[in-house]
Chain A
C-alpha cells in the first residue's frame, strides 16, 4: 500500500470517528432536552399528587397523570406523595386505572418491544385491579425476563386465585433471569396462603419429573401447612435423591409431632445426603424423642452426617449435650471425635450451621 491510499483510509477513519463524536454530542443534547421535559412533567404529577393528599380536587392529578409519559407512571406511583394520597383515603391506583394512560399501558402489554411490556407490567404491579388478571397472566408467561419479573410483582399485589396455576407452572418451569428467580416465585406464591394448599397438593400428586417435584417441595416447605404432610412424606420414598433431600428439609417446617417419625426413618436412608438433611431437620425441630437416633447417626460412616447429628444434639439443649459427653472412644472413635469437636464449638458457630 502506498502512502496515498493509506492517507485515504486513515482520513476515512478520522472522518468516521469525527462523525461519531458529532452524533454522540447530538445524542447527549437530545437526551438532556428530552430528560428535562420528562422530569418537568413528572414533577408536575408529584406536585398534583401532593396537593391532592392535602385536600385539593382530583382534577389536576388526573390531568397531570395524563400528560406524564407512561414509562414514568410506575415510578411516580411508588413515591411518597402517592403513598400519602393513599393514606388520605384516596386511591391513586383507582385514579390511574380510570385514566387513558392506563388504557395505553394495557395495549403496551401486547407490544413487540420488551421495554413497553415491562412498563405495562410495572404499571399493573403498581395500580392493577382485578380486571387486569388476564393481562397479568399473559405477562407472567412473557419470553423476556423483565416483563415477567415485573408481572410477579403484580401477582403479589393482586393475589387472585386465578394467578395460582400460572405461578405454579413458573415454580417448575421458570427459566428466566437469575438462578434464584424460582425462589422469588415461591415467595410470591407463599403469600397466597391457604388458597395455595389444595392446588399445590394436587400438583405434588401429579408431578412426574424430579426437578419439578423438588421445586414444589421447596414451596411446600415454605408454606408449612399440615395439609401437605402426606405428599411430603410420600416424597421421602421417591427414587430421586434431590426429591428426598427436599422432602426431609420440608418436614422440618411442619409441626414437630408428625415429622419426627418419618425423619427418624430417613436417618437410615441409603444416601448420606438424605441422612444428613434428616439429622439437620430433627435438630431444627428440637426433637428430643429422636435423640437416640441422632446418637446412632453420630457413628455414621459419612463425616457430614456425623457433623449434622452432632449439631442437632447440641440443639436439643442439656439432654443432647449430656449424650454427646457420654460418647466414649472405645464405642466408636469417629463418633467420639465428632462429639468432642461439636462440644468445643462456640454457640455462635453451632447457630450458624443450624440456622
Chain B
C-alpha cells in the first residue's frame, strides 16, 4: 500500500505542478488580453459609438426568442422588459414548452392573445406546435404553444422559435432573465465596427438576486444578500469580463451563452438549429457554427461584447446550484466529445489548436486534476514525503492566485462599467471573492465531478427548476432560479 501511494505521489507530483503553473500562466495572459479588450470596447461604447447617430432603419431587425417552461413567476416582468427595449425593429417570440403551470394563461391574460395562421416556414425539424398567438396589446409579441417532444431540453422550443421568427437575426434569452433596455442596441453595435462579418455575439450576464427593476431597468442595483448568490457574483465577473473578453483576442469565443446571445439565423438553420440531444445546447451551437464557417473558409467573428447586460436569477440553494453545475459539466463533456475531431486540428485554427485544448484540459479535466491534487497532498503528508510548511505554502499560492484573479475581475468591472453604485457592494463582493477558494470552490469541484458520473451513466435530464420571481417596483422579493445562464 505504502509503495503504491509513494508511486502515486511520485507520478502525479510533477504533472500537477506543471499543470498548475501553466494553467495559471495562461489565466494571467487571458487577463492581460481582456484588459486590452475592455479598453477597446470602452472606446467603442463611448467616443466611437456610431450607433448613437445611425437612423433607425440602419439597425438589423432582430427576433428575440424566449423559451419558457413553467415560468409563471417570472414570465410577465421578463416579457414586459423585452417589449420595452430601446431598439427600432424587433419581435419577441415566447415559446411555451408545454408548461404545466399558468405560464400560457398568464401570457394570454396579460397580453390579450389571439390565434394567427401558422404561416411560418419550417426550416428546422421540431415537435408539433399547438398554436401561434399574437398579442393585441403589442403586436410585436408572438406566443407559440409547443407540444411536448421526446426529449425535454431547451433545444426544441428554441428551434420552434427560430422557425417562427421572421428577421435575419435571432437573439436568444432565458425567461428568467431581464434584458436592459439598451442591451440589444449595444449588442448589434459590434456589427458596424467589426471588419469581419459577425456570425454571432453575446453580452454580459449579471446576477439579478437582490436587484429591483422598473420596466427592465435595474434601480440602484445591489449585490445579493444570499451568501450562495454572493459567491456567484465574482464568478460571473470572472467568466464574462476576463474569460470571454480574453478569448476575443484568441480566435473568438466557443461559448455564446444560451441566456443571452445573438446569431445570424441563416447560420443557425445551416447547422440544423439547436441539437435536441445536447444538454449544453449553446456550446454545441457555437461549436457547430465555428465548424461550419471554418469548413466553408468564410471569414467571420464571434465576439463577446461586455456592455450589453442582462440580469438573471442565480440559484440560492445548494441543491439547485449543484444541479446546475453538474448539468453544465455534463453538457460540456458531451459537447467536447462530440467535437473531438476539431481537437488539435489545424484546419480549425485557434479554435482547434488553443481554445478546445484549453476547454479539455483547463475546464473539463480541472475537477479531476484538482481532486487528484488534494489526494497527492494528503498521501504525501501521510507518507511523510511532503513537508507541512511547503504544502501550506502551496495551498496559499494556489488560493492566493485564484483570489488575485477574482479581485482583478472585480477591479476591472469597478473601473469600467461599475454596475453597483455603492462601494459597499463591491466590498462585499471582494469578501466573497476572497472566501471563494475556501469551501465554495471545493463544492463546485464536487458538483462537476458528479457531472462526469452522470455523463457516464448517460443521464440526459435537465433537472428541476424553481422560480420566485424578480423584485419589481410593485412585485415581491427576488429569489432563486436555476436559469441556464452560463457563468462558467
Whether the Cβ atoms of A146 and B50 lie closer than 8 Å is yes
Q: How far is the CB of B144 from chain A (nearest CB, A)?
A: 14
Question: At the interface, yes or no: A74 with Cβ under 8 Å from chain B?
Answer: yes
Whether the Cβ atoms of B50 and A149 lie closer than 8 Å is yes
Question: At the interface, yes or no: A134 with Cβ under 8 Å from chain B?
Answer: no
Whether the Cβ atoms of A178 and B21 lie closer than 8 Å is no
Q: Give Cα distance in the complex from A75 to B43, angstroms.
A: 14
Whether the Cβ atoms of B401 and A1 lie closer than 8 Å is no
Question: At the interface, yes or no: A345 with Cβ under 8 Å from chain B?
Answer: yes
Question: At the interface, yes or no: B108 with Cβ under 8 Å from chain A?
Answer: no
Q: How far is the CB of B339 from chain A (nearest CB, A)?
A: 26
Q: Which residues of B contact A16 (CB under 8 A)?
A: 28, 32
Q: How far is the CB of A297 from chain B (nearest CB, A)?
A: 15
Whether the Cβ atoms of B35 and A348 lie closer than 8 Å is no
Q: Give Cα distance in the complex from A115 to B191, angstroms.
A: 15
Q: Which residues of B contact A144 (CB under 8 A)?
A: 193, 195
Q: How far is the CB of B225 from chain A (nearest CB, A)?
A: 29
Chain B residues within 8 Å of A, Cβ to Cβ: 14, 17-18, 20-21, 24-25, 28, 31-32, 35, 39, 42-43, 47-48, 50, 52-55, 57-61, 114-117, 119, 134, 136, 139, 168-169, 188, 191-195, 197-198, 264, 266, 390, 393-394, 397, 400-401, 404-405, 408, 411-412, 415
Whether the Cβ atoms of A21 and B408 lie closer than 8 Å is yes
Q: Which residues of A contact B411 (CB under 8 A)?
A: 21, 24
Whether the Cβ atoms of A145 and B119 lie closer than 8 Å is no
Assuming the contacts A10-B401, A13-B25, A20-B35, asked whether A115 and B195 have C-beta atoms less than 8 A apart, the reply is: no
Q: How far is the CB of B402 from chain A (nearest CB, A)?
A: 11
Q: Which residues of A contact B393 (CB under 8 A)?
A: 3, 7
Q: Give Cα distance in the complex from A27 to B411, angstroms.
A: 13
Per the 8 Å Cβ criterion, residues 103-154 of A in contact with B are: 114-115, 118, 122, 125-126, 143-146, 149-150, 152-153
Question: At the interface, yes or no: A183 with Cβ under 8 Å from chain B?
Answer: yes
> Interface residues of A toward B: which range?
35 or more
Q: Which residues of A contact B20 (CB under 8 A)?
A: 6
Whether the Cβ atoms of A118 and B408 lie closer than 8 Å is no
A-B contact pairs, 18 of them (CB 8 A): A6-B21, A7-B393, A10-B24, A16-B32, A20-B35, A31-B42, A75-B52, A146-B192, A150-B53, A156-B55, A177-B191, A179-B169, A180-B60, A346-B115, A348-B136, A349-B114, A352-B139, A353-B116
A17-B401, A349-B134 given; 15 more Cβ-contact pairs under 8 Å:
A3-B393, A13-B24, A20-B35, A78-B53, A122-B53, A143-B195, A150-B50, A156-B55, A178-B60, A178-B198, A180-B59, A181-B58, A183-B57, A346-B114, A348-B139
Assuming the contacts A1-B14, A3-B390, asked whether A180 and B401 have C-beta atoms less than 8 A apart, the reply is: no
Whether the Cβ atoms of B117 and A17 lie closer than 8 Å is no
Whether the Cβ atoms of B404 and A178 lie closer than 8 Å is no
Chain A residues within 8 Å of B, Cβ to Cβ: 1, 3, 6-7, 9-10, 13-14, 16-17, 20-21, 23-25, 27-28, 31, 38, 71-72, 74-75, 78, 114-115, 118, 122, 125-126, 143-146, 149-150, 152-153, 156, 175, 177-181, 183-184, 187, 304, 307, 341, 345-346, 348-349, 352-353
Whether the Cβ atoms of B401 and A187 lie closer than 8 Å is no
Whether the Cβ atoms of A178 and B191 lie closer than 8 Å is yes
Q: Give Cα distance in the complex from A184 to B191, angstroms.
A: 14
Whether the Cβ atoms of A20 and B415 lie closer than 8 Å is no
Q: Give Cα distance in the complex from A140 to B385, angstroms.
A: 71
Q: Give Cα distance in the complex from A294 to B97, angstroms.
A: 37
Assuming the contacts A9-B25, A20-B35, A346-B114, asked whether A177 and B192 have C-beta atoms less than 8 A apart, the reply is: yes
Q: Which residues of A contact B193 (CB under 8 A)?
A: 144-146
Whether the Cβ atoms of A17 and B31 lie closer than 8 Å is yes
Task: Name the 4 nearest CB pairs between A and B, nearest first.
Answer: A178-B60, A180-B60, A1-B17, A178-B191
Whether the Cβ atoms of A14 and B401 lie closer than 8 Å is yes
Partner pick for B134 among A13, A304, A348, CB 8 A cutoff: A348
The listed residue with most A CB atoms (<10 A of its CB), out of B47, B59, B266, B401, is B47
Q: Which residues of B contact A352 (CB under 8 A)?
A: 116, 134, 139
Partner pick for A179 among B43, B48, B60, B390, CB 8 A cutoff: B60
Partner pick for A20 among B32, B114, B117, B168, CB 8 A cutoff: B32
Partner pick for A145 among B21, B42, B194, CB 8 A cutoff: B194
Closest Cβ neighbor of A28 among chain B residues = B415
Q: Which residues of A contact B134 (CB under 8 A)?
A: 348-349, 352
Q: Which residues of B contact A346 (CB under 8 A)?
A: 114-115
Assuming the contacts A71-B47, A307-B117, A349-B134, asked whether A184 and B25 have C-beta atoms less than 8 A apart, the reply is: no
